[in-house]
Amino acid sequence: MKYTCYILFAFIVLASCTSSQTNEKTSSDTLVHAEPADFMPATTATGNTDTSNFRDYMSGLTTLNLPMHFKTGDDFIPDETTPLLYEKFKLESANNPGGRFFTNDRYSLLLDLIAGDVTVPALVTYTYEGVKIDSLIFFDASYEDENTFSQETVIIDDNLIIHRYDSTFSSKPNGAKKLTDTDSRIFIISTEGQFIEK
């Protein structure tokens, strides 16, 4: 009887050690195979995930190259994409997609187009899941009246530094234009995808 108790005790200890190792292995395997937090799909208010939809949307956009230069009155060719996906991810005031610049490990940079007297470009940053982070809309200072008009010129350089030049011109009786004032502003994009004026 004494030996039976020892054998029973040894069996219980052995069984509990095996169970403990199995639990540790399962827990460890789960951590090894889990996706990194930066790439986990965001859950929307309805409980759906948008990561695959956003990837589909991005893959349908034309890749835009840097540096890029544009000014008030330039013609932009709208990009073609799936209308339902565009409605889901577009900047609220935008009418057409303009393309995508790039995606890094923190955000994606896209160009949206807003219809008006002139086409207005807007830079928009998104998370990996397709959540809008920030936007920068151009040509907000452009105007034209009887004797003067303004023109905004934007240069996005290879280092993602955004140069905005607001130039004011006066019209001469002979139809010539004279530059009367220029205001310049510089923006950068933070590592979190925010547009910051320098």
> Does residue 133 register a pLDDT over 50?
yes
Can you read off the two tokens belonging to residue 15?
């069984």
How confident is the model at residue 85, as a pLDDT? 87
Q: Is the pLDDT of residue 49 over 60?
A: no
Two tokens, residue 113: 């187009």
- CA–CA separation, 106 and 111 (whole Å): 17
Strand partners, 69: 155
The answer to whether residue 5 scores a pLDDT higher than 70 is no
| pLDDT tens, residue by residue, 53-112 | 888 888 889 999 999 998 888 888 888 777 888 888 888 889 999 999 988 889 999 999
Residue 42 is predicted with a pLDDT of 37
Q: Is the peptide bond before 67 cis (omega within 30 degrees of 0)?
A: yes
Per domain, the residue ranges of the chain are 39-197
Q: How far apart are CA 95 and CA 112, in angstroms?
A: 8
Q: What is the pLDDT of residues 155-178, one digit of tens each?
A: 999 999 999 998 877 777 777 777
Q: What residues does 134 pair with on adjacent strands?
A: 125
pLDDT value at position 142? 60
Q: Look at residue 148 in the predicted model and tell me its pLDDT.
A: 75
Residue 50 tokens read as 């948008």
**Sequence-distant contacts of 86-94: CB under 8 A, at least 24 apart:** 86/57, 88/50, 88/53, 88/57, 88/130, 89/53, 89/54, 89/57, 89/126, 89/130, 89/132, 91/122, 91/124, 91/132, 91/135, 93/122, 93/137, 94/122
